[in-house]
Amino acid sequence: MDKIERMKAVFRGEKPDVTPAGFWFHYNGADSPAQMAENHLSLYRETGMDVIKVMQDYPYPRMAEVQTPSDWHKLRMPGRESAEYRRLEEVLKRILDGSHGEAMVFQTMFGPFKSTVMQFGDARVMAHARENPAAVAEGVRAVAESLAEWAAGFLEAGASGLYYTAQFGEVGRFSDEEWETLVKPSDLMMLDAAAKCGGKYNILHICGEPEYRFRVHLERFRDYPGDIVNWSVKDNGLSLEDGRALFRRPVLGGMNNKGNLISGTEAEVRAEAEGLIRSFRAGGLHAGRRLHGAGENFRRQYPGGGGSGPQFPGIGGRKNGASRTGSGVAGRP
């Protein structure tokens, strides 16, 4: 199998020839699009990874200032005509050109609710959501309309799909009713973009915030569109096997980002990865883990890498032969 065939086998829930792997970093948001793309391509070439995740390390465009709940009614985000979108699209196109169609390329996107928090701060957004949820929902929906347009643009430009970060389902943040009003509708608008394009894929990454100890109501995302689903196994106590039963599709995850991937030897990383693959009894495993170094042979700060260090997923079904190891073993994003 080549890299694309291997990934498509995983999406179908089948066994690839080996467990595919990928690595990624956060990069410096001050880099030019040309340098940003080259950083991604250098990592791709050096690791020989099977899939490329294009990081979203440039800020979204500034929107109207929100000081009171009534301000959410005027919230808008620029569409594909904006300089911010064009910069991200340039990075994507350069990566597509530089990877020569050898691997699937996924564009990272944050959810609309997250994009408002990134601009106005968690405390302010949450306070307004409590005071006037209808106004906040209206503003988030307007942002979602623009970001869905961005998503369609990335897919039209050649991305294989979206790596979508679904957030704000943490235990203790919103009630089910609040979440279904404020968060879920805009998430679905984004995820539907891939379905509408045809032949594209969604990688659904369910993520919690540190102030909530990364714990998430995973069952809320059970019906979200997504060809592969990822969550923090160690933070949520839901195993890969149980998660596959919950989501009824291939899953991504498994390795501890604060263990061997940071400080272990190559042999320890290999043993953990191969143990994870052996423990998964059928196809449809996409093993991965965010990390800050991959054992003794992985660079602590990859050239061009930014503040939070490398991220490392391995993607695949149960192996038929030897797993890919060394600096390309399986992990979770």
What is the structure's pLDDT at 30? 94
What is the structure's pLDDT at 233? 86
**CA 223 to each of CA 44, 73, 227, 247: distance values in angstroms, whole numbers, following the listed order:** 33, 29, 11, 7
> Would you mind telling me the total number of residues written for the chain in this entry?
333
Element housing 291 (H / E): none
Element housing 241 (H / E): helix 240-247
**Residue reference for tokens 């032969």:** 321
Does any domain span residue 333?
no
Q: How far is Cα 242 from Cα 246, in angstroms, rounded to an integer?
A: 6
Contact (CB, 8 A) for 215 and 291: no
Does any domain span residue 90?
yes
**Residue reference for tokens 């933070």:** 235
Query: For residue 197, which amino acid is it?
Result: C
pTM for the whole thing? Answer: 0.86
Q: Which domain holds residue 48?
A: 3-328
What is the structure's pLDDT at 323? 29
Q: How far is Cα 234 from Cα 237, in angstroms, rounded to an integer?
A: 6
Rounded to the nearest 10 degrees, how much is the dihedral formed by the CA atoms of 50, 314, 108, 263?
-120
pLDDT in tens, the chain (333 residues): 999 999 999 899 888 888 877 777 788 999 999 999 999 999 999 888 899 999 989 999 989 899 999 999 999 999 999 999 999 999 999 999 999 999 999 999 999 999 999 999 999 999 999 999 999 999 999 999 999 999 999 999 999 999 999 999 999 999 999 999 999 999 999 999 888 888 999 999 999 999 999 999 999 999 999 999 989 888 999 988 899 899 999 888 777 767 787 788 888 888 888 887 777 755 555 444 433 333 444 443 444 444 333 333 333 333 333 223 222 223 333
Q: How far is Cα 318 from Cα 85, in angstroms, rounded to an integer?
A: 38
The CATH number assigned to the domain holding 70 equals 3.20.20.210
Contact (CB, 8 A) for 183 and 201: no
Contact (CB, 8 A) for 88 and 94: no
What is the structure's pLDDT at 140? 97
DSSP code, position 311: E
Residues 6+ apart with CB under 8 A from 330: 19, 21, 254, 255, 273, 276, 277, 287, 288, 313, 314, 315, 316, 323, 324
What is the structure's pLDDT at 99? 98
Does any domain span residue 319?
yes
Which token pair is 176? Answer: 């089910």
Does any domain span residue 237?
yes
Query: Rounded to 5 degrees, what are φ and ψ at 109?
Result: -140, 135
Which token pair is 115? Answer: 């994009």
Domain count, the chain: 1
Which residues are bridge partners to 311 per DSSP? 24, 290
What is the structure's pLDDT at 264? 85
Gap between the terminal Cα atoms of the chain: 23
What is the structure's pLDDT at 47? 82
Query: For residue 81, which amino acid is it?
Result: E
Contact (CB, 8 A) for 215 and 250: no
